Amino acid sequence: MPAMTLSAADISAALAAIAGGDNVVSDTAKMGAFLNEPRKRFHKTAVAVVTPPDVAAVQAVLRWANDAGVGIIPQGGNTGLVGAQVPLHGTEVILSLARLDRIRSVDTAAGVMTAEAGVILENAHRAAEAGGMMFPLWLASQGSARIGGVLSSNAGGVNVLAYGNARELTMGVEAVLADGRLYQGLNALKKDNTGYDLKDLLVGAEGTLGIITAASLKLYPLPEDYETAIVNIASPEAALDLFQLMRQRAGSRLNAFELIPWIGLDIQMRHGMLDADPTASASPWYALIELTRMAGTAAGALQAALEAAFEAALISDAVVAESLADRTRMWAFREQMSECQSREGPSIKHDVSVPIAAVPALITRGTAAAEKLVPGIRPVPFGHIGDGNIHFNFSMPVGADAKAFMAQFDEVLHEAIYEVVLDLGGSVSAEHGIGQLKTELLQRVKDPVALEMMRAIKLALDPNGILNPGKMLG
Amino acid sequence: MPAMTLSAADISAALAAIAGGDNVVSDTAKMGAFLNEPRKRFHKTAVAVVTPPDVAAVQAVLRWANDAGVGIIPQGGNTGLVGAQVPLHGTEVILSLARLDRIRSVDTAAGVMTAEAGVILENAHRAAEAGGMMFPLWLASQGSARIGGVLSSNAGGVNVLAYGNARELTMGVEAVLADGRLYQGLNALKKDNTGYDLKDLLVGAEGTLGIITAASLKLYPLPEDYETAIVNIASPEAALDLFQLMRQRAGSRLNAFELIPWIGLDIQMRHGMLDADPTASASPWYALIELTRMAGTAAGALQAALEAAFEAALISDAVVAESLADRTRMWAFREQMSECQSREGPSIKHDVSVPIAAVPALITRGTAAAEKLVPGIRPVPFGHIGDGNIHFNFSMPVGADAKAFMAQFDEVLHEAIYEVVLDLGGSVSAEHGIGQLKTELLQRVKDPVALEMMRAIKLALDPNGILNPGKMLG
């Protein structure tokens, strides 16, 4: 980013002249909602927050910022977990997409919805369902996450297995480039081989190459029903064998396959987070399994597959949801896995992925490394085993001092886990991205040629370095 | 591309020194197999063909070419239809990937295969099947197309509906950059949010940003069986309604949904291209429909769905395959659609896509435009209606003069069809790419900001312009 020459007051005045005084905030207290991110790890302030009322105003802000050398941080619902959407230097302007919140169109026949960047994910779900379709990207934060952020972070979630992540669910994007030009890449085409894949370059770029202002999103037919179960399994190895069996029998009907350790049930039951036990009986590990059932397809495929799994000794007990309430409770059990850890003090978290065959090794070796470092530490590995993506979290030992635990072990445990992940050919950020949390880590672990290519592309598309400066590439 | 300063002899000598004399051909007759492409539309020669024995030799050739300013054209199976893989200027060197033909690994547990760029697509199929899995990308040219070309052209095919195109089937790539650096992006991760999506930038770039030397490819469980039918439909509108019904009932089990006009059956039967009529009875339009059936799933879903379609008056007759021979014949009928046209003289072809709801309008309006231009012209629109991708071909009128037909109408008919396509929000190249055939067209129809972004990226990654010079961006 070029050296700042404008005062904070100059910047606010310029933004007000471009986007309207009502759309600019520079009072620190009023900026709170934009600065306080979920993890409370990043504490820099911003010069101002601008909330442009339309795409033209986004263009005008960037045109000005590019000339003035002012860093712009695009922000959606401020739910990101790696600090991409909050300041790094304290001299940046946050550009909120919240007012670009229109669903421009829902075309059920074409299977596409065009939503602006500020549309809240849950509202996108509702708009699709109103047309008898679904937009199959579900996140714990869907009540506040906005489409622009969901795409810029290439969000994943629990149904990547069947439908892919944000990138795979996006057909095209509209984006404002660093100098204010508008890239018009919205489309409703399943196939279009006319040039480089700019859409996928902008998706997942964390706002460092352009600011997504709208996207055309894939819609899918609503299944008539779901078949959902929680099964008891002896180990992650058995979970993997069971996953292969389910995939063989259900193919793309397999909607979710989530691994959950016993400690997750224990914590949630002890803290009254579930109205009833969603499992059949006590087990060291559980898997939440779900199949979609389309209209005209006979029910019972999950039950039949589970019988085969019993015969193969892959599961020891199971409960199949018999009501919507059962299914809702099973999913609550899964979705509260992250939140429940906070009831037991701080935890040290890793969002990692490995080739799926390596998940058992990841859990075994990662657990051994952690227990060697911190006797009594409580591993809570859970998540998307079918994607090889484990949220490998560790709760502090019972009775430990919270502050001392974090101060002493946060860094070293990260190092130990990432070492195992990299040794298994995995990724140090499966879903959450790089932001400002993992920029140094990325420099250390990424293919150096990939980093050179990324820097060359960044320089080509944002020569003045005003787009989310310092994020991702450092 | 910088001005050429080396003589042809100098170039051949340099290549021989780098890659071994046995791996360099500069005799025009011996270069024939590399120069003669399927459409016989492009006739420039090359200075030489080099066939490096390994990745290191590819790197060395590019390092030299980048310094010497010699254009390099990567080539796989030479099956491309837009001239991307053959010379444009006559001063280029063709770099054949044919000797990089190793399957490096097949990991069925992880669902990934690593194949070098020179592996023939059919051999990739066989390697997957040997492991009890499938690599679901099928093309008419699969007996000679090679993985590097399949990926560089982002090939599609008949199963994109269920499994996606080459881009969606690729987990990572290894590629040599213009200056010889090796980008090591192979991986077996379903989720990896550590930086820009370089994989998707290289896939579909037609060798203008780097030369793919290997790829990690997604494998899927083999279905236990397929349910396949050819149904009689009254119109493309009915086909679309039927497609929606099938998708509602079969979801992602719907493996293929291909539209075929009556003329295709007529030509194939008259020329003895089918051993028996694969259809139930005469109909203006047919659809070939296929569902996958996984192990443990009851048979009959297609039959049940077709009964619902009869009741809804969407189909008037149908035949469901009862044997492998039936299924093979049905697919031959579909796959011979392109070839059969040549039995009736030349045809003018368009590989286009529109939002799927607009397919009927595309066919109606395109047919009207063509018939206005050329009375008696025979429209042969067929293909992937579920992807909105129609191969909108036109055979010359019965008894017309072949040469005069092409000379008079090739250009103007293209213009007329592309006008309809663009008006419907479609793409002028759904599957086949840009190459050298459609560079001028791309300049006219693509979003200008997209073209600027593409040029900036090209300049950033290939500053000397040596990679497939003049292709795609002109």
Q: Which of B164, B292, B457 sits opposite A196 (nearest CB)?
A: B457
Q: Which of B188, B298, B430 sits opposite A298 (nearest CB)?
A: B298
Size of interface A-B (CB pairs under 8 A): 287
CA distance A212 to chain B (A): 14
CA distance A467 to chain B (A): 14
**A-interface mutation test, from B55, B59, B108, B190, most A Cβ less than 10 A away:** B190
3-state secondary structure of B196: coil
**In terms of domains, do A232 and A324 share one?**
yes
What residues pair up with A6 in beta bridges, in sequence order? none
CB A145 within 8 A of CB A120: yes
Contact B434 A193 (CB under 8 A): yes
Residue among A159, A164, A148 at smallest CA distance from A203? A148
- In percent, the amount of chain A with pLDDT more than 70 equals 99
- DSSP H/E element including B240: helix B236-250
Distance CA A79, CA A58 (A): 21
Tally of CB atoms within 10 A around B137: 28
- Res B1: pLDDT: 45
- Res B140: pLDDT: 85
Domain endpoint, select from B170, B193, B221: B221
Query: Which residues are CB-contacts of B142 (< 8 A; sequence separation ≥ 6)?
Result: B120, B121, B122, B125
Q: What angle do CA A124, A130, A133 make, to 5 degrees?
A: 75
CATH number for the domain that contains residue A268: 3.30.70.2190
CB B151 within 8 A of CB B212: yes
Residue A3 has pLDDT above 70, yes or no: no
CA atoms within 13 A on the CB side of A325: 4
In the numeric block, which tokens belong to residue A78? 């401020």
- R_g over Cα of chain B: 23
Each residue of A391-419: pLDDT tens digit? 999 999 999 999 999 999 999 999 999 99
Is B390 in CB contact (< 8 Å) with chain A?
Answer: no
Distance CA B296, CA A132 (A): 29
**In terms of domains, do B352 and B333 share one?**
no
- Res A197: pLDDT: 98
Residue B2 has pLDDT above 50, yes or no: no
**In terms of domains, do A213 and A283 share one?**
no
Query: Which residues are CB-contacts of B18 (< 8 A; sequence separation ≥ 6)?
Result: B50, B57, B60, B61, B64
Contact A454 B294 (CB under 8 A): no
**In terms of domains, do B158 and B246 share one?**
no
**In terms of domains, do B131 and B210 share one?**
yes
Confidence of residue A97 (pLDDT cuts 50, 70, 90): very high
Residue among B338, B352, B357 at smallest CA distance from B417? B352
Is A358 in CB contact (< 8 Å) with chain B?
Answer: yes
3-state secondary structure of B436: coil
Is A1 in CB contact (< 8 Å) with chain B?
Answer: no
- In percent, the amount of chain B with pLDDT more than 90 equals 92
Is B87 in CB contact (< 8 Å) with chain A?
Answer: no
3-state secondary structure of B402: helix
CA atoms within 13 A on the CB side of B49: 22
CATH number for the domain that contains residue A200: 3.30.465.10
Is B450 in CB contact (< 8 Å) with chain A?
Answer: yes
Query: Which residues are CB-contacts of A173 (< 8 A; sequence separation ≥ 6)?
Result: A151, A183, A185, A186, A199, A202, A203, A212, A214, A215, A216
Rounded to the nearest angstrom, the gap between the alpha carbon of residue A435 and the centroid of all alpha carbons in its chain is 12
Contact B193 A162 (CB under 8 A): no
Distance CA B191, CA A273 (A): 30
- Is residue B458 one of the residues assigned to a domain? no
Is B233 in CB contact (< 8 Å) with chain A?
Answer: no
Tally of CB atoms within 10 A around B63: 17
Ramachandran angles phi, psi of B338, nearest 5°: -75, -50
**In terms of domains, do B234 and B214 share one?**
no
Tally of CB atoms within 10 A around A180: 17
**B-interface mutation test, from A453, A454, A467, A471, most B Cβ less than 10 A away:** A453
Each residue of A250-300: pLDDT tens digit? 888 899 999 999 999 999 999 999 999 999 999 999 999 999 998 878 899
Contact B252 A247 (CB under 8 A): no
- Res A4: pLDDT: 52
- Tell me the chain A residues in contact with residue B201 when contact means C-beta distances shorter than 8 Å: 196-197, 200-201, 457
In the numeric block, which tokens belong to residue B125? 């199929």
- Is residue B403 one of the residues assigned to a domain? yes
DSSP structural state of residue B284: S
> Scanning every residue of chain A, which has its alpha carbon at the shortest distance from the alpha carbon of B113?
A355
**B-interface mutation test, from A163, A181, A190, most B Cβ less than 10 A away:** A190
- CB-based burial label for B289 (10 Å; 0-12, 13-18, 19+): buried
Look at the block and give the residue holding tokens 């909602």: A33
- Is residue A205 one of the residues assigned to a domain? yes
- In percent, the amount of chain B with pLDDT more than 70 equals 99
Contact B110 A252 (CB under 8 A): no
What residues pair up with B291 in beta bridges, in sequence order? B227, B254
- Domain total of chain B: 3
**In terms of domains, do A241 and A278 share one?**
yes
3-state secondary structure of B220: strand
Is A110 in CB contact (< 8 Å) with chain B?
Answer: yes
Q: Are strands B93-96 and B48-50 parallel, antiparallel or unpaired?
A: parallel
CB A58 within 8 A of CB A176: yes
B291-316 burial, b if ≥16 CB within 10 A, otherwise e? bbbbbebeeebbeebbebbeeeebbe
Each residue of B20-75: pLDDT tens digit? 999 999 999 999 999 999 988 899 999 999 999 999 999 999 999 999 999 999 99
Cα–Cα distances in Å, from B468 out to A331, B207, B436? 51, 6, 10
3-state secondary structure of B246: helix
- Containing structural domain, residue A264: 225-339
- Is residue B468 one of the residues assigned to a domain? no
Across B259-276, average pLDDT = 97
**B-interface mutation test, from A167, A191, A255, most B Cβ less than 10 A away:** A191
Confidence of residue B276 (pLDDT cuts 50, 70, 90): very high
Q: Please, which residues 115-144 of chain A have a Cβ atom closer than 8 Å to chain B?
A: none
Contact B203 A197 (CB under 8 A): yes
CATH number for the domain that contains residue A392: 3.30.70.2740
The complex's ipTM works out to 0.95
- CB-based burial label for B390 (10 Å; 0-12, 13-18, 19+): buried
Look at the block and give the residue holding tokens 């790890």: A41
Query: Which residues are CB-contacts of B207 (< 8 A; sequence separation ≥ 6)?
Result: B73, B74, B84, B85, B152, B467, B468, B471
H and E: helices and strands count for chain B: 16, 19
Residue B223 has pLDDT above 50, yes or no: yes
Ramachandran angles phi, psi of B355, nearest 5°: -55, 140
**In terms of domains, do A281 and A311 share one?**
yes
Pick the more confident residue, B460 or A249: B460
Tally of CB atoms within 10 A around A124: 25
Is B459 in CB contact (< 8 Å) with chain A?
Answer: yes
Residue among B239, B328, B240, B319 at smallest CA distance from B284? B239
**In terms of domains, do B216 and B231 share one?**
no
- Tell me the chain A residues in contact with residue B302 when contact means C-beta distances shorter than 8 Å: none
Ramachandran angles phi, psi of A390, nearest 5°: -110, 130
Rounded to the nearest angstrom, the gap between the alpha carbon of residue B408 and the centroid of all alpha carbons in its chain is 28
Domain endpoint, select from B324, B339, B354: B339
Distance CA A72, CA A62 (A): 8
**In terms of domains, do B351 and B393 share one?**
yes
- DSSP H/E element including B217: strand B211-218
Q: What angle do CA B364, B367, B371 make, to 5 degrees?
A: 140
- Res A5: pLDDT: 77
**In terms of domains, do B216 and B240 share one?**
no
Q: Please, which residues 336-355 of chain B have a Cβ atom closer than 8 Å to chain A?
A: 353-355
**In terms of domains, do B232 and B316 share one?**
yes
Contact B112 A453 (CB under 8 A): no
- Is residue A4 one of the residues assigned to a domain? no
Domain endpoint, select from A320, A339, A358: A339
Is B323 in CB contact (< 8 Å) with chain A?
Answer: no
Task: Give the mean pLDDT of chain A.
Answer: 95
- In percent, the amount of chain A with pLDDT more than 90 equals 91
3-state secondary structure of B263: helix
Q: What angle do CA B353, B354, B357 make, to 5 degrees?
A: 135
Q: Which of A153, A196, A445 sits opposite B201 (nearest CB)?
A: A196
CB A51 within 8 A of CB A96: yes
Q: Which of A191, A201, A447 sits opposite B353 (nearest CB)?
A: A191
Task: Give the mean pLDDT of chain B.
Answer: 95
- Res B4: pLDDT: 53
Distance CA B368, CA B413 (A): 11
- Is residue B186 one of the residues assigned to a domain? yes
CB B88 within 8 A of CB B45: no
Is A167 in CB contact (< 8 Å) with chain B?
Answer: yes
- Is residue B46 one of the residues assigned to a domain? no
Q: Which of A107, A111, A425 sits opposite B188 (nearest CB)?
A: A425
Across B315-334, average pLDDT = 97
In the numeric block, which tokens belong to residue A177? 């480039």
- Is residue A140 one of the residues assigned to a domain? yes
CB A58 within 8 A of CB A213: yes
CB A471 within 8 A of CB A208: yes
Residues recorded for chain B: 474
Residue A2 has pLDDT above 90, yes or no: no
